[in-house]
Structure 1
């Protein structure tokens, strides 16, 4: 009987070998993982013991130093009525000592256990007036000279470690000094992933823990009598100490053991941990670490995966060898068929090659046609921009006729007067009239030159252009309308506002925007237009704006204002192409145009131009004139 051509007995033997090797590898990996955890735990305990010893050593001597101060002895020796004059100096001294040491509080306690001076004397929660006679550290300091105690503050509710030292006079003990330190820095420094560290006091209660839920819980149930003693000393602020739910299981090597504890990452569950312990610097206390077993389990999984992978590779190699034998036999038989297939393939390739050549020729024709179409499209866009410019000229025809007719009438009158003066033999008056005729002709020439420059087709290249010159030429084209309609135009453009643009197209953009602003002011009592420019936050950009005090732009139209055939003018007064053409021209400069309705009313168009030559000043660049 065979499976995939392999005898059944060989398959069963391979499975048995795989199970045995996998089980052995998993067991070895588990032991090595636990040993690594044990070594890491021992190292952690050394670090925690050293840090705890260092932290305690910093503050343990502090009460004894304070007890030697003459001002504190004088305060304790003085009658209660005379202490009031000594208290400010002692309080300030204790406050300075507490600030320098970084402790929670430093106190002076009389023989009755009353705190008569404290570093927090001027704070909302002050220890002054508190009686601590019930605290063991006070009784120990009076009896043996010093005392230690871990407990929760009855005033603040904050846990801390207390050190106390007796204050001795010439003949007797006068009282005690005490310092309270916080254990929060230790808990923060000890917090490490996949590990819980804690300090257990002589009562078996967890007083310091990197797992907040474990603090002030007992590793074993506390007898009722012991509970009463704890309640009397208010060591844990009068709270009944609950059981943590700790259960010691099997022992391991090097002083480590397995224990069941609440899962710190999943409240309400329990997990098995590897636990190690060491005596703490404070008598009766112990430092414990609970190590997560997930690292050892990962070692097991890696070992299992390695053995499984090795066996799979061996099985695949065996199957590959068997398959290779069959492939060789089949390959010899297939060579003749392959030769025949190659011959057919060569014929097919020749046919496909001919078809590809023909397809490439057609594709090249389509590319040439598309390039020609794109060129025609660009030409059409140029014609559209030019047509928009001519449309503006048509709209200004009536005003320009008035501007030209007035000088012509004046010229005719002046010429008639000059002839009369010549007939009267008054050449001086005749020559003065002819000089005035010359000035009128020059003005008409300037106007027609502006119109000619505005109407000519652009050459398409961008050069540095001064915005002030462009605005001046555009304003000249609309000068008659501005004057006749009584529009006040305020222009504030600095001389160094020079941008990259094509002069003719830039003039067309400003003429279009100025014409739109004039249209928007129709029917308004007060008509104002502001034109200005300023540097942007980016030195390579220049901001240009035209604003009016008209009715503004309909918000529904504002979002589509620069699309073709979108207009705010009445039917028959525009096709809606002016702003679309303006937007295309501005984009051709590498600039951006936008429109808003300012808070003060009206409408404002803003163009963000590229500053000429990276934003250099006019003295550093050659500026192209914007007019003719």
Structure 2
């Protein structure tokens, strides 16, 4: 019996096959782990951006209501109503109710109301509605107690009258001898939950009790992420924070930590009831004291990357194995050929038949060699095809991450839409329908521009052809200035424009407007912290070939040389973390190239940066088309 070390399979010792198997297992394990670590890191980066975005939207949406109670508390009619005797209160009540209803409409809150020192609501914006707060006693609510004791209060709970959850802000109505009552506002968080919904992800706000008060998964609301002690349950029941209902724990299982950035857990799959799904959970403190924001990100893409890594390593080892077998067979064939030639030389005359047999064997060996070579070529081609598929998958992953920056590009049009809608309402109230309709038409154009902007994310990697038409450069600049009109005025920016009337270029109208909006927004960001805030916009004929040279300069600090060389590449940005993904200029560059133009950037010797776009003039393009 042969020993173990001498056993061969396809000409290779058995110990060689075992060593290859051990090496394959080790390399595959390392590749799978590296793919997991890199994929989860990418998911964690997206989660960090999500948390920053949600914190900013929470602060923006809820912070604007925080001052409403304080404003109401300063009104003379409110003081007069709280100071009046019970029999004299009806003389002031209607005026205060009407005032509170007007404040509620302007703020867009659920209700604004006034509370006397013993906790009874004596006036409310919904005084004339079936579920009016008037007469309700809220002395047990923490926000009322905190307002009387500390001047202000905040509380999230479910309304005892309406059963509708909301956030309450309260402010004490004070005079020289102390607090004489409190003003409160109740706001809804439904808009936030709708805006935060992302497929295969979940976001929530957890209060100081560990109870989920805002959630993109409705079934999770008012469940607890951590155990609540009996004492705390008693306090919650006393304040009726959750309308008397017992807080049940959310059934999930924590699996382990991901460094300091987050932790893994199995949560119920809200898309398939009865199932659980693995998530990466990340959190950060909310802008409101005591609360925290939690986001759950699906780790299924990381598992997919592990499968791809295993397939890639397996393919490499198969190719290496085939090449090793081929080399072994090749050496054996050469050795057999040399032996046959030597035997033929020694017995040429005596062994003619043997020579023919040997020749036939060599021919067969050569055929096998050619077949093996063809198989190797096919295997190499399959490897190249697999590599191309992996590159394509990487591109799709990059495009998915770029969607996270879309919100940054929509912020400015949304601010303009809010300003124009408020002005339109004022014009209607003043019986000026023409001005109101003009504002509504501007809003319609802004919405069209936003729709086109979202399309840019899809066409970023492979841009289709667009139809270029003559467009007024003056109107595009005026559109961008209108969007940033309030910001230019509030930040006292000096805007110098030198664009000749009637300057026409060939472009796609809405995309040209987006280009100017992006550049003007970047210029405003550059001068926001400067003592001298100046932006210059200029357009003039570039050369005799029918070009229009457009420039926009700012008085900021300029662009770092190491950033300037890669400024128009995706994810390159000079803004602080959380204020942009570096997609604006990359998208702007592709839009300008689609117009047949060229964009460049440089630092101005006196300080600041200048962006230059070389457009095709409409007259020159028309002449070229005529030929």
Calculate the TM-score normalised by the size of structure 1.
Answer: 0.50
Calculate the TM-score normalised by the size of structure 2.
Answer: 0.50
Q: Which has the larger Rg?
A: 1
